[in-house]
Structure 1
Amino acid sequence: MPAPPETILVLGGTAEANLLVSRLSKAARAPRIILSLAGRTAAPILPPGCEIRIGGFGGADGLAAFLRETGVTWLVDATHPFAAGISRNAAKAADNAAVPRIALVRPAWEMRPGDHWIAVDCLGAARDALPKGARPFLALGRQHLAPFAHRPDLTPVVRMIDAPEPLAFAAEIVLGRPSADPHAEAALMSECAITHLVCRNSGGAASYAKVAAARTLGLPVVMIARPPAPPPPLAGSVDAVLALLGIDA
């Protein structure tokens, strides 16, 4: 089995990134692990066993310089499936710095019996797909809410982890992290009299409960399709990443 890499930079912010770091740190010959976070969440969940870097790199050139200066021997892009810009920069930086890269892309959600999805390809289309007077649950993150300011007829509910600055439109704000329990998500949607769920097809188990809750309640889901996947090599799970790295963890 190949020797483990000496320094792995993980571009994180996802549950899979944290799990990968945890698994790597427990390997028999654990590498040096640097977990990079964008810094959008005030109190992110941080795994043990790694160095933490918060903030941007300054585009692809800045990331390439960091890879060279830090002696990174593997780059793992474990960012959100919708973080297309970061993934493009990661691919370009890895090429420029001659550092091997793996993109961890969790499988997208698929419709199940009882689902009522309205498939759209962008935030604007998601906004326009809502009927007049709807009360949507916008499970999107604060940086993706601006298009909904153009629909004053809506009475949206927005969930955020951190207290936001004033929004550009009127909305009920629910503070807290998403629950992994579909029953809890369904109870919240019922309490808020939600008529539609609006979300991105993030995939994975960590945030699926809201989709299951909408199915239970018979609510339509305005589902925003993913951007194109980053260039290969791609891995669909933490186990697949570890296999490509040649690490038994």
Structure 2
Amino acid sequence: MTRTAFLKTMIEVLKYDTSYKKIRDRDQLIRMLDRVRVNFVPQYEFVNHGRPYQRWEIVELRVPVPLLGIAEKYKNELDSLVNFVYEETDDYALDHMEIKPQVIDNSEEETEYNVVFNEIQDTVIQGIRDARFVIWAAVAWFSNETIYQELLAKKNQGLNIRVIVSEEDSNKAMITKLKKDRFNVKIISKWGKFNRMHDKFCIIDMDYVMHGSYNWTPTANCNEETLATALDHELVLKFASEFMELYNRPT
């Protein structure tokens, strides 16, 4: 069975097998599997009770970094699915399943930087790299050059990218850069004496949203910040509605 067929079968079993319909948040699990990659990793050890010359192999589920927490939450269900779908051959038998981060190689169009990512910045970047169609980001403060270059690489690939930022002095250089590179950018002016757009969230492909306290600035990497990832379809729609309300707000 090919990797694609294996993953597709897992999704179809989740959808239609009655024994899996009782799984809580089953739709979220299906949406996550749609973004997973499968690897079959042969082991050197032979199966001592199996067929002649049959070896063990590990099934790796390579999950996008922002979704790793969700995958760990459903580890038992995923393990059950892998064991149910796995097809033993004369050459290989299933040893166990492992959940690992999905490695996304930079293409020639993507800019490579010799930097050390902290945990939250790296998660944001991996979310951007995981995007296939749409990136909508509403971030009050945006001055992080590394994140900007990741967005630019995705823009050059033809993705639908929209960015909303607050009208702040510290955002001026980034706003100029976004406009120069023809990003679809919306600047939200302050109102009253202290009121401003204070959101910090990024929607990926209308599948999941990364949200929390983390602004896209270098100084945010030195703060105590939070970043959560939600794969809940209804919640993503609520964030998308908030984004459109901001995007369509008169300037």
**What is the TM-score with the length of structure 2 in the denominator?**
0.27
Would you tell me which structure has more strand in proportion to its own residues?
2
TM-score by length of 1: 0.27
Q: Of Structure 1 and Structure 2, which has the larger fraction of its residues in helix?
A: 2
Structure with bigger gyration radius: 2
